[in-house]
Amino acid sequence: MNKAIIAVVVVIILAVGGWLVFGKNNSSNGSLYGGNNNSNQTSSNNTSANSNQSAAGEVSIQNMMFTPSQITIAKGGTVTWTNNDSTTHTVVDDLSNVGGPNSGDIAPGHSYSFTFNKTGSFQYHCSIHPSMRGTIVVK
Confirm whether 86 is domain-assigned.
yes
Confirm whether 61 is domain-assigned.
yes
Say how many domains are in the chain: 1
Is pTM beyond 0.95 here?
Answer: no
11-44: b (≥16 Cβ within 10 Å) or e: eeeeeeeeeeeeeeeeeeeeebbbbebeeeeebe
Rounded distance between C-alpha atoms, residue 124 and residue 41, angstroms:
19
Domain residues for the domain of 62 are 30-138
Confirm whether 3 is domain-assigned.
no
Q: What's the chain's length in residues?
A: 139
Q: Do 134 and 122 contact (CB within 8 A), yes or no? A: no
Q: What is the CATH classification number for the domain harbouring 134?
A: 2.60.40.420
pLDDT tens digit sequence for 33-62: 454 444 443 333 333 333 456 778 999 999
Confirm whether 132 is domain-assigned.
yes
Closest CA to 84 of 106, 52, 68: 106
Span of 59-63, 95-99, 115-119, 123-127 with lowest mean pLDDT: 95-99
Confirm whether 64 is domain-assigned.
yes
